[in-house]
Amino acid sequence: MRIIRIVLVSVGVAGLAVSAQARELKDNDRYVCSWGAGTAARAQELKLSGVSLYAARQKIQAYKFAKTWMRMMALGITEQTYDSPTRIKPAAVRASFYDDCVRYKLARK
């Protein structure tokens, strides 16, 4: 009897965790995560190809952004990418950034 109760409680807690994960992101949050992931992947590509941080910053400064916050965010993401010692592929950086961003946005709700 006690084991059945423990199993039911465990299943209930797991169900709550899944429902919390299933919460939907707002379209804007999804856009920000996707845009940031793409920016991190591009920064990783530049880093792995030997482009200096200074040159990467210059490329960002020359780019036209759709929103005012994007330039500073792109500079920050690029700097963090260059500061990281990792040599993983840009696609893995994109996926990792996106997953972490979504997790962060869901946790804030």
Closest CA to 28 of 2, 83, 64, 67: 67
Q: How many other CB atoms are there within 10 angstroms of residue 78's CB atom?
A: 22
Q: How many other CB atoms are there within 10 angstroms of residue 38's CB atom?
A: 16
What pTM value is reported for the model?
0.76
pLDDT digits (tens, 9 = 90+) for 20-41: 455 688 999 999 999 999 999 9
pLDDT digits (tens, 9 = 90+) for 68-87: 999 999 999 999 999 999 99
